[in-house]
Amino acid sequence: MDEGTGTALVHALKYDGWHAAAQPMAARMARLDWPDDVRSERTALVPVPLSRDRYRTRGYNQAEQLAVALGAAWGLPVWNDVLMRRRDTSSQVRLTPSERVTNVASAFVSPVGARARLRGAHLVLVDDVITTAATLNASAEALAEGGARIVSCVTFGRAPEPGDRAVSDHDFLRN
């Protein structure tokens, strides 16, 4: 497992309850350069929801904490009630890419009561890390089925692929 600064921040927020990590992570995410049309038409941020069991165990959703901090930076609301997990899923950490897709297939839904608000919206899904994009794709599909016109995604980091060049903390901080 990569043990760089980014990994340590994600781990601290996600597993160690270090809520303060969300602010600098979101500040980094806020620096992303989006095309002007995307910046002007973004409606709201939507955090990827946790399963009920995981939320109960952790006591918070790290994606929601990132979305709240990012929303403050971008001046956007956070809609945490337009995407729900309809069932618990296994942890994705040790699953293969195809197992990840199967694990989250049809796991998300947009509540019927949220569909009027979703209609025509350009939403930005927020999560901490992207690995295979299975969770983001399943979430985006549910939002689109609920009426969202466009779903963009933003994450703090990307899990390394086999063969990726190791990046030093110095390179990470410089970017």
Q: How much is the pLDDT for 172?
A: 46
Q: How much is the pLDDT for 31?
A: 93
- CA-to-CA separations, 128 to 95, 118, 124, 131, in angstroms, rounded: 18, 23, 13, 10
Higher pLDDT, 101 or 151: 151
Q: Residue 132 and residue 6: Cα distance in Å, rounded?
A: 18
Whether residue 162 is predicted with pLDDT greater than 60 in this model: the reply is no
The residue behind tokens 């399943």 is 138
Q: Tell me, what amino acid is at 167?
A: V
Q: Residue 106 and residue 85: Cα distance in Å, rounded?
A: 9
pLDDT in tens, 122-151: 999 999 988 788 889 999 999 999 999 999
pLDDT in tens, 57-92: 888 999 999 999 999 999 999 999 999 988 666 565
Q: In sequence order, what DSSP letters do the residues of 28-92 get, joined into one string?
A: HHHT----HHHHHH--EEEEPPPPHHHHHHHSS-HHHHHHHHHHHHHT--B-TTS-EESS----S
Domains of the chain: 5-162 (3.40.50.2020)
Q: Residue 72 and residue 88: Cα distance in Å, rounded?
A: 30
Q: Residue 173 and residue 21: Cα distance in Å, rounded?
A: 15
